Amino acid sequence: MPWPSRKRDKGAVADKKEPDAKIAKTEEETEDKEEEEKSTKPPAGSSKSGWKNWKKAKESDSGGEESKITYCHWLLKSEPESRLEKGVDVKFSIEDLKAQPNQTTFWEGVRNYQARNFLRAMKLGQQAFFYHSNCKEPGIVGIVKIVKEAYPDHTQFDQKDPHYDSSSRKENPKWSMVDVQFVRMTKRFIPLSEIKTHHLAHKADGGPLKNMMLFSRQRLSIQPLTQEEFDFVLSLEEEKPH
């Protein structure tokens, strides 16, 4: 396997306070506080202009029609810093992905049912944000695409793997994985704190990030995104950091 399993999914914790990434591809079976960010409520109007300008551009492109509320993109969390889990270093950064043959790897080790179901819903060619989690400054660093749809995760049968599951049977595997390939780095790092500022503003003014799962189910290491959510977050790479 290209790297030690870096997705951990049971009882993960919010970013930086506790692990939760592809490797952590970490997951939570219990819900705790929102991802810890010391960002306060955004200053009045701080996100509204960006949201309105983005919406105006989108309406210009689409004739003013609203996008369908369907999940067609994803956010995948992975830990860029070393952390031992059952004696195995679960570190896996986007640089590690770029170093893999054909810049492709399998996304294994997910042990949360909701996250697993999201994996099973992924379609060939769909894109996802690669998100660095459980680190000094969590956030989005790049884009990957799905190059193989869900198939059985072999680590569930490997007794030496941190994510071995003795209750899973080869004739009826519990856990799945997909293959992902590096597409590109984002033009700049998009920190969680910046995304959260927009999320809080959008909750008030009805912007595209108002229901973003990154803040409602923050511990899930696999998260779906609507087209609007993906497009808005991607548009942030064109803006100067606040």
Q: According to the model, what pLDDT value does residue 240 have? A: 85
Residue 121 above 60 pLDDT?
yes
Domain coordinates in residue numbering, the chain? 71-234
Rounded Cα–Cα distance for residues 46 and 170 (Å): 52
The least confident of 26-35, 63-72, 202-211 is 26-35
Alpha-carbon distance of 154 to 139, in angstroms, equals 29
Comparing 129 with 2, the larger pLDDT belongs to 129
- The string of pLDDT tens digits covering residues 15-49 is 654 344 444 444 443 333 333 333 334 444 445 44
Give the pLDDT score at 70: 84
Contact between residue 23 and residue 113 where contact means Cβ atoms under 8 Å apart = no
pLDDT at 129 over 50: yes
Tell me whether strands 104-106 and 88-89 are parallel, antiparallel or unpaired: unpaired
If you search the block for the tokens 């990030």, which residue do you land on? 209
Least confident range from 29-38, 63-72, 96-105, 198-207: namely 29-38
Q: How confident is the model at residue 214 (pLDDT cuts 50, 70, 90)?
A: very high
How much of the chain exceeds pLDDT 70, in percent?
Answer: 71
How sure is the predictor about 55, in pLDDT bands with cuts at 50, 70 and 90?
Answer: low
In this prediction, residues 75-79 reach a mean pLDDT of: 98
CA trace torsion 160, 164, 165, 168 (10° rounding): -90
Between 180 and 13, the more confident residue is: 180
Amino acid at 152: P
- Backbone torsions φ then ψ of 215, nearest 5 degrees: -110, -15
H runs (alpha helix) in the chain: 48-62, 94-98, 113-121, 192-205, 213-216, 227-235
Could you give the 3-state DSSP secondary structure of residue 44? coil
Helix (H) or strand (E) holding 74: strand 71-78
CATH topology of domain 71-234: ph1033 like fold (3.10.590)
